[in-house]
Amino acid sequence: MSLDEGVSRFIGNLYEAVYDPEAWRSAMNEMMKRTNSRLAFITCVDIRHKQLSRSEFYGAEDTSFLRAAEEYQEGMYQTDPSLQWASKHPNAGVCDTSVIMPHDDFQKLEYVRWQESLMGTVHWRVFYTQPVDDLSFAVSLHPPASDGPAPSETAKLHKLLFEHIERALRLAARPPDLAASAEAVIVLDTLGQVLTMSPRAEQIVCRGDGFRVEQRSLYTDSPQVTERLTSAIRSAIRSTSLGGAGGGVRVPRAADLGDWLALVSPCPRFLQHLPIRTPAAIVRILETGAKPVLSPAHANLFGLSRRESDVAAALLAGHSLESLCHELGISRNTVKVHLQSIFRKTGTNRQSELVHLLAEVTRP
C-alpha cells in the first residue's frame, strides 16, 4: 500500500508527539480526521478478565462526550460487545462491529444505543495487541452514525496507524535497561507496580532480604514500613514537579545487618497522559551501614569545585537527578552543567561510571 506524503509525515511525527500531552492530543485529532472518525479511544485492557486498566478518549469534548467517557470508565465498558468478542478471540487482533454481529441485533444492544445517544456513533473498528501480563493495548475508531460501518477499503490504513501508535507508545513507555547496573534499582509504573529490576535488586528480592514482590507490588517484612514505602511511592507517582516527591525509607534487615535505605524518586519522563503502563517511580536500595562518603580530600584528587563535590557526593549517596535537585536546591539544568564538568575532570562519560569510580576511590 502506497502512502501519501501527509500520512507519512503524520506517522513520523507520532514518535515525537508521544512525549508531549498537547502534541499527542493534536496528533490524535489529526488521526481522527484522516480516518473520518467522530470518536477514538485508546485503552489498556485485560480482555481475559474483561477489566479496564486505563482509557483515553479523543473527540468533540462537549458535555455528552465527557459524560460518556466517564461512564465508560466507571463500568459501561463491561457491556462493550467488542470487549466480549475479544475475550473469546484474544489473538485475532481486530474486531469490526459490522462483521461480528448481524445489523438488526446489533442496533438493539443497550451499549450501542447508549453510545449513539451520547457520542453520535454506532459502529466501530478496534485493533488490539495480544495480551502481555493479561493486558492488551487497543485503539478504537468510530465513524459518525450517519456513515454506517467503516468501509473495508480503509482497514489497511487503520491497521497501519494502529501499529505505529502502539509502537510509539511502547518505545516511549519502555522501562530503562538495568541489566548492566551494579545498583539495586526497582522501576514502578503509574499503579505502583513493578515494571523492571536490576540484577542486584532481583537478588535482594529473591533472598527475601527485607523486600518481596507479590502480584507486582513491593512489600517489606513490616506492615508499618511497607505503608511508609507505599506512601513515598505514591508521592513520587503523583509528582508533576521535582519538589518534595518521593522520600527515603529505612527498611530493617536481619539483626546482624545494617538497615536498607530505600530512596524513592519520580521517573524523569512521566508519561501521565498515556493510557498504558509507564515508568513513574524509581526505588534505589542502599546499604546504610556501608555507604561511601566523598571527603574534601577525595574531591581534591579530581580538582572538583565545592558545588561539584556536593553533586558528586549526592550521586554517590544514591540520589537521582530529581532528588538531587531538591536536596541541593538547584535546577536540573544547573545539575547538568556541574555533571558535565565532573565527567570531564574524572574522565568518565556516564553517571554509572562516575558513581563506580567514586565508590572505588572512597572505599575504606
CA–CA distance, 38 with 29 (Å, rounded to integer): 10
CATH architecture of 292-364: Orthogonal Bundle (1.10)
What residues have CB less than 8 Å from 36, skipping those under 6 apart?
A: 143, 144, 147, 150, 154
Please, which pLDDT band fits residue 289 given cuts at 50, 70 and 90? Answer: low
Please say if the pLDDT value at position 222 is more than 80.
Answer: yes
- CATH fold match for the domains 175-290 and 292-364: no
**Contacts by 334-340, CB closer than 8 A, 24 or more apart:** 335/311, 338/307, 338/308, 338/311, 339/311
What residues have CB less than 8 Å from 310, skipping those under 6 apart?
A: 328
E-strand stretches of 9-88: 39-46, 51-59
Q: What are phi and psi of 186, to 5 degrees?
A: -125, 130
Give the global pTM: 0.64
pLDDT tens column, 190-202 = 888 898 999 999 9
Query: Hey, is 65 helix, strand or coil?
Result: helix
- pLDDT of 102: 67
* Higher pLDDT, residue 343 or 104: 343
Please say if the pLDDT value at position 72 is more than 50.
Answer: yes
Question: What is the CATH T-level fold of the domain 5-173, as seen in this structure?
Answer: Beta-Lactamase (3.30.450)
Give the number of other Cβ atoms within 10 Å of residue 250's Cβ. Answer: 15
Please, which pLDDT band fits residue 186 given cuts at 50, 70 and 90? Answer: very high
Question: What is the pLDDT averaged over residues 155-163?
Answer: 93
The domain spans of the chain are 5-173, 175-290, 292-364
Please say if the pLDDT value at position 244 is more than 70.
Answer: no
Give the N- to C-terminal CA distance of the chain in Å, as an integer. 65
Please say if the pLDDT value at position 243 is more than 70.
Answer: no
Q: What are phi and psi of 250, to 5 degrees?
A: -80, 130
Query: Hey, is 55 helix, strand or coil?
Result: strand
342: closest CA among 364, 362, 319, 314?
A: 314
Question: What is the pLDDT averaged over residues 112-135?
Answer: 89
- pLDDT of 280: 84
Q: Which CATH number fits domain 175-290: 3.40.50.720, 3.30.450.20, 3.40.190.10, 3.20.20.450?
A: 3.30.450.20
